[in-house]
């Protein structure tokens, strides 16, 4: 086994919510993401979680810490991506980015438009910082699952691919880590030349 084969995926999960971070109600984003990842990933992974308020400097500090200190190869945020004045997750994400990955935000909106017309109000972004992929997800648990998995018909056949189909190959390209998914949840895609 090489050092690359031995890498274990480390995922940062960040829920951005003023009220949940103050204990007004229980956070639903991190539990939903954790449960979904446990179903979707076939490889072992570690999780670092953060529940923080809608404050741009706090979001930026958290993303930097998860990537630079905690060495998370993937960071998923939930919440703070709408048009309200307190929704500043995309601004914070772009502020700490080395490169933008616009396809992720475009695909999330495309998927969500199949369920709600207000999806066009979403401002989610995807970026790379160092060797890490940071993705802004919606705040609602149902919408999180939909954007990750995509649009499926009554038989479970995928009509529009969810964003997580591209995540394993993206991580392989930027960090060299090789992970895969359970096709019953989400089928990951990579070129034949990149498959093990």
3-194: CATH number: 3.40.980.10
Q: Are 107 and 76 in contact (CB under 8 A)?
A: no
Mean pLDDT of 84-92: 96
Question: Closest Cα to residue 104, out of 148, 154, 40?
Answer: 148
Q: Which helix (DSSP H) or strand (DSSP E) does residue 79 occupy? A: none
State the pLDDT at residue 20. 87
Taking 3-state DSSP, the helix, strand and coil percentages for the chain, each rounded to the nearest 5, stand at 40, 20, 35
State the pLDDT at residue 1. 41
DSSP state of 67: I
pLDDT tens figures, 161-178: 999 999 999 999 999 999
DSSP state of 24: S
pLDDT confidence bin for 143, thresholds 50/70/90: very high
Q: Higher confidence at residue 25 or residue 151?
A: 151
Q: Are 39 and 182 in contact (CB under 8 A)?
A: yes
pLDDT confidence bin for 3, thresholds 50/70/90: very low
pLDDT confidence bin for 18, thresholds 50/70/90: confident
State the pLDDT at residue 6. 67
The Cα–Cα gap between 134 and 128 comes to: 6
pLDDT tens figures, 89-119: 999 999 999 999 999 999 999 999 999 999 9
- Taken in order 55, 61, 67, 69, is the CA torsion positive or negative? negative
State the pLDDT at residue 21. 84
pLDDT tens figures, 35-56: 999 999 999 999 999 999 999 9
Mean pLDDT of 132-155: 94
Tell me: pLDDT of 2 over 70.
no
The Cα–Cα gap between 155 and 80 comes to: 33
């Amino acid at each position: 086994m090489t050092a690359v084969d031995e890498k274990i995926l480390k995922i940062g999960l960040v829920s951005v919510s003023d009220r949940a971070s103050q204990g007004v109600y229980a956070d639903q984003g991190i539990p939903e993401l954790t449960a979904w990842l446990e179903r979707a990933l076939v490889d072992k992974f570690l999780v670092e979680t953060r529940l923080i308020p809608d404050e741009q400097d706090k979001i930026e500090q958290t993303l930097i810490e998860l990537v630079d200190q905690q060495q998370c190869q993937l960071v998923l945020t939930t919440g703070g991506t709408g048009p309200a004045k307190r929704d500043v997750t995309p601004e914070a994400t772009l502020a700490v980015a080395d490169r933008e990955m616009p396809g992720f935000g475009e695909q999330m909106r495309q998927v969500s438009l199949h369920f709600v017309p207000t999806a066009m109000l979403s401002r989610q972004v995807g970026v790379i910082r160092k060797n890490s992929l940071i993705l802004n997800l919606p705040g609602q648990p149902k919408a999180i699952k939909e954007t990750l998995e995509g649009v499926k018909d009554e038989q479970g056949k995928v009509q529009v691919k969810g964003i997580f189909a591209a995540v394993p190959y993206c991580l392989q390209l930027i960090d060299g880590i090789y992970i895969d998914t359970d096709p019953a949840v989400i089928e990951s895609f990579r070129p034949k030349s990149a498959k093990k």
